[in-house]
Amino acid sequence: MKLLRSRTERIELRTQPEAKALLERAAQLRHLSLSAYLLETGLRRAAAEVRESETLYLHDVDRTMVYATMAEPPHPNEALTALWNNPNAQPVTLIPLPKDLICRPFDCGVLELNRFLRRDAFDNGQRHVGYTFVAVTKARELAGFFTVTNTSILAEVLPIPALRVGKLAVAQRYQQQGLGRWLLRQAVVMALQEAHDTGINALLVDVTDAAAQGFYRKYGFLPFQEHPLTMLLPIQTLRRL
């Protein structure tokens, strides 16, 4: 594992003597030191749990919907076509979230999203858990952001690779000015590039409430019945833009 090559962080662990003896015995069977064994097995388990969390599992009605949508992708609707054909230039630049902007004021009206941007967004990128892109003004103000991560939809045996927009938010002072629409268009551009580079088949978005669901539904995103806060748009639909 690449993660085993460079060790700059320290983890301390306390346990019962019986547990330590069991771990030492397991390490001996693998011809590893106790610390190497704990690190290797811990990383393997962590990677598996991350993959599990990044997979969207579908059953019954949702599975049928996905297969039907992928087999016959809908044509872009009027709103999605307008989104693509009219970039609606904004006085901002989209960049990966830099560390020096973490503490800049940002308030989208949703406390959970505000906290995420300040506390978790940058660290997630450093850990390759997910990446945050921010819309920055010339004055280095944070006007909005969205997050992306690679994921997969498991409807049967073979997973369907997808790009997931987990969060998208606009600062209150920039709302109702087309910035949310502009950010969505940037995510669509990324999805098309990812489809070209790695072969993803869908763009997923996560929503927080009915209002957000209505925003994405306007552009043709389809909700899952089992996962109503997650919505899907086939890449083939985007390629027809």
Q: Is the pLDDT of residue 47 over 60?
A: no
- The pLDDT of residue 135 is 98
pLDDT tens for 155-199 read 776 789 999 999 999 999 999 999 999 999 999 999 999 999 999
104 and 30 housed in the same domain: no
The larger pLDDT score, comparing residue 129 to residue 182, is at: 182
pTM score, whole prediction: 0.79
Q: Is 23 within a domain?
A: yes
The larger pLDDT score, comparing residue 7 to residue 34, is at: 34
| pLDDT, mean over the chain | 88
Task: Give the percent of the chain with pLDDT over 90.
Answer: 64
- The pLDDT of residue 93 is 97
Q: Is 73 within a domain?
A: yes
171 and 201 housed in the same domain: yes
The larger pLDDT score, comparing residue 97 to residue 12, is at: 97
127 and 23 housed in the same domain: no
- The pLDDT of residue 4 is 46
47 and 61 housed in the same domain: no
Average pLDDT over residues 46-56: 56
- The pLDDT of residue 218 is 97
Q: Which domain holds residue 229?
A: 56-239
Q: How far is it, in rounded angstroms, from Cα 74 to Cα 177?
A: 29
Q: Is 8 within a domain?
A: no
The larger pLDDT score, comparing residue 1 to residue 66, is at: 66
Q: Tell me the pLDDT band of 236, cut-offs 50, 70 and 90.
A: very high
- The pLDDT of residue 5 is 52
159 and 230 housed in the same domain: yes
Q: Tell me the pLDDT band of 122, cut-offs 50, 70 and 90.
A: very high
Angle at 162 between CA 127 and CA 84, to 5 degrees: 110
- Number of domains comprising the chain: 2
CATH of the domain at 68: 3.40.630.30
pLDDT tens for 198-226 read 999 999 999 989 999 999 999 999 999 98
